[in-house]
Chains A and B, each alone.
Chain A
Amino acid sequence: GAVVSQHPSRVICKSGTSVKIECRSLDFQATTMFWYRQFPKQSLMLMATSNEGSKATYEQGVEKDKFLINHASLTLSTLTVTSAHPEDSSFYICSAPLYTEAFFGQGTRLTVV
């Protein structure tokens, strides 16, 4: 299947700092990418849809100023968690659709201390 690469896989940061997570489609182009958040033992919760060349679409209840999304090219979307707090600690996963399938990155475990 297609490959989506997410980086970093783990990050620990101090409260108040910002963290950037990258999501790349390695062997295909993606005009749309999706960002999910996953709490322990739960399913994936869609946070936002990243659109190349235009603004991201955020799901209800997700703060756009807290979770900045930039879809810089047809193969790269970034999620920046700004002014991180301990409650932002979570597992963040991106996905990119290809035709009628979706491929996921490896996920990023964010820990805010």
Chain B
Amino acid sequence: GQQLNQSPQSMFIQEGEDVSMNCTSSSIFNTWLWYKQEPGEGPVLLIALYKAGELTSNGRLTAQFGITRKDSFLNISASIPSDVGIYFCAGLLRGEAAGNKLTFGGGTRVLVKP
């Protein structure tokens, strides 16, 4: 199925740095979701976005729903070691036949700089 283009695929962070990742699509979505997945676990929902242009924060995380409805970004401010993990964006098209079927980005792997 279609997939969202998520970038970067991976990044190294140094404690205290701000990091940013984004997702783009050729399709319009009605909802954008951002998840974090740690090794051996399922994804955990971080932020949900429902309106074009919406900017939402969850602690040090900030995400925005692009005005065109075809993109979204996630920022992590003042990163800390526990921010390590894989971050996924997911888009939701209302009206999908199977109901609430998500389209996922390829993931951004956040690693700590040695």
Write the residues of chain A forming the contact surface with B, with a CB cutoff of 8 angstroms. 1, 4, 6, 9, 31-32, 34, 41-44, 46, 49, 57, 59, 91, 93, 95, 97, 100-107, 109
| Contact in complex: B33, A101 (CB < 8 Å) | yes
Tell which of A42, A102, A106, A109 touches B102, judged by Cβ atoms closer than 8 Å. A102
Closest chain-B Cβ to A40's Cβ sits at a distance in Å of 10
| Contact in complex: B42, A93 (CB < 8 Å) | yes
The digit string for B20-59, where 1 denotes a CB below 8 A from any CB of A, is: 0000000000110101000011111100101000000000
Q: Which 4 A-B residue pairings sit nearest by Cβ, starting from the closest?
A: A97-B100, A104-B42, A49-B98, A107-B42
Closest chain-A Cβ to B24's Cβ sits at a distance in Å of 15
Q: Which segment, of B11-19, B67-75, B77-85, B105-113, faces chain A?
A: B105-113
Contacting residues, chain B, for A4 (C-beta < 8 A): 42
Tell which of A31, A59, A104 touches B1, judged by Cβ atoms closer than 8 Å. A59
* Interface of A: prevailing SS: strand
Q: CA of A31 to CA of B99 in the docked complex: distance in angstroms?
A: 10
Contacting residues, chain B, for A93 (C-beta < 8 A): 42-43
How large, as a class, is the contact surface on chain B? Answer: 20 to 34
B63 at the interface (CB under 8 A from A): no
Given contacts A100-B48, A101-B33, A103-B45, contact A43 B106 (CB under 8 A): yes
New contact pairs (12) apart from A100-B94, A101-B48, A105-B42, CB-CB < 8 Å:
A9-B40, A42-B107, A43-B3, A43-B88, A44-B43, A44-B88, A49-B98, A101-B31, A102-B100, A107-B40, A107-B41, A107-B42
Q: CA of A57 to CA of B106 in the docked complex: distance in angstroms?
A: 23
Closest chain-B Cβ to A107's Cβ sits at a distance in Å of 4
Q: CA of A31 to CA of B88 in the docked complex: distance in angstroms?
A: 25
Tell which of B41, B50, B94, B104 touches A43, judged by Cβ atoms closer than 8 Å. B104
